[in-house]
Each structure stands twice: as C-alpha cells, then as structure tokens.
A and B are shown apart, each in its own frame.
Chain A
Amino acid sequence: GEDVEQSLFLSVREGDSSVINCTYTDSSSTYLYWYKQEPGAGLQLLTYIFSNMDMKQDQRLTVLLNKKDKHLSLRIADTQTGDSAIYFCAERHSSASKIIFGSGTRLSIRP
C-alpha cells in the first residue's frame, strides 16, 4: 500500500542546516513534494522533484532523492526563525491525482 513516513520533530540552531527526512513505499511514485505549513495556515508547496531526478536545488533548499531506498530529504541551509513550521513530505503516482501525505515534521529553531 501507499505510505509516507516522517519523524515528528526536529530542533536546530539558528544558522545551522536542517535536514528533514522522509521514506515512502510506493516505488511507482512519479512526483515527490515538500510542503510547508505555518501556524494557522494551509499548506504551501515548497518544491517538488520528479522521480527520475536525484537532486534539485532552489536557493537555500536542496532535495535529495534515493529512489532505490525510497528516501527523500529536504535540506534547508542557514536555517532562520522564519523557517519554523511543519514540513510535509508527499508522493503522487503519475496515473492518479491524489497525493499521499506524511504526518509532517515540526521544525523548531533555537537561538
């Protein structure tokens, strides 16, 4: 079946890099997403990666995909207080419009 798993919490010091990890089970996933949810708000798409890519970089964000191990990670360089949020990993198969979400990782920043 389809399942996406993430750790629930991550705490990092301001200025350090944050790495949020995710594993998924559907080997036929075509798109993998990272969403950000700030307090009291809906989810916003941060970035996505096609399953035929290994890495995608966008400013302070780096997504790494290990398709063999079904492992996805999001690295946030120079983490700032504004990065405090819940980060959701998600996957979608090309034949479906449904997206399967993980339970979210709450990132907290300490001074």
Chain B
Amino acid sequence: DAEITQSPRHKITETGRQVTLACHQTWNHNNMFWYRQDLGHGLRLIHYSYGVHDTNKGEVSDGYSVSRSNTEDLPLTLESAASSQTSVYFCASSDDRGSETQYFGPGTRLLVL
C-alpha cells in the first residue's frame, strides 16, 4: 500500500546543531508539505514543494530549508537548531486532482536542548 513515512520519529539534539528530518511518500504525489504543530498554534506551514526542484516558503520558514531532488522525498533541515524549534513536525503530500486531500505522516517529535 502507498504510504508516507517520517524518520526519525523522535529526536533529541543540542542548540546549534544541524538536524535533518526525512519524509518519504510512495503515492507519486507532486505536492509535499512540512508543518510544525505547537500548542495553541495548530499546524503552521514551514515549506512546501509542487514538484521536483520546486520549493516555497511557508509562514514560519526562518531557520529551515528543504530540497526536492526527486518526487518521493522532501527532507527538512534545521540549519542551526534553536530551542524555539522544539516541536512536532508533520510531513504531508497531495496530488493535483480533485479534492487534493493532504495525507499526513506520523510526525517527528523534536527536542532541542
């Protein structure tokens, strides 16, 4: 069955380190998204991509970067982790047809000490 996976599921890192969160989908979806979820803020869009080599900034993109070298993967990099980036991160994907529902991964819980 097609799916979307994230790794690692849990990560503890130190302030200033570079961290990369992986997202992999097997639906062959063009669109991929990264969100962070924090209490009181719901889901906030970090970066998104509409296809290979396409990347766009979301509402909270500072301190994060993404690259899209193939259809299946959209890794999220924290260039220099900060305590404010402690959060739960969700990856999602969608296709270009119909209701364009987004399918979500299980999430990565990141703690920056």
Q: Which residues of A contact B (CB under 8 A)?
A: 8, 31, 33, 35, 40-45, 48, 88, 92, 97-99, 101-104
Contacts and interface: CB of A to CB of B under 8 A. Distances in A.
Interface of B: 31, 33, 35, 40-43, 45, 48, 50, 58, 90, 92, 94, 96, 99-107
Contact of B42 (A33, A41, A42, A103): A103
B96 A97 contact: yes
Contacts, number: 48
B33, B40, B43, B103: most-surrounded residue (chain A CB, <10 A): B43
Contact of A45 (B40, B58, B101, B106): B101
A43 B92 CA distance: 9
B106 A48 contact: no
Nearest to B105: A42
B110 to A, nearest CB: 15
Given A41-B106, A43-B104, A97 B43 contact: no
Contacts of B58: 98
A33 B43 contact: no
Contacts of A99: 102
Contacts of A48: 99, 101
A34 to B, nearest CB: 11
B82 to A, nearest CB: 23
B45 A98 contact: yes
A31 B100 contact: yes
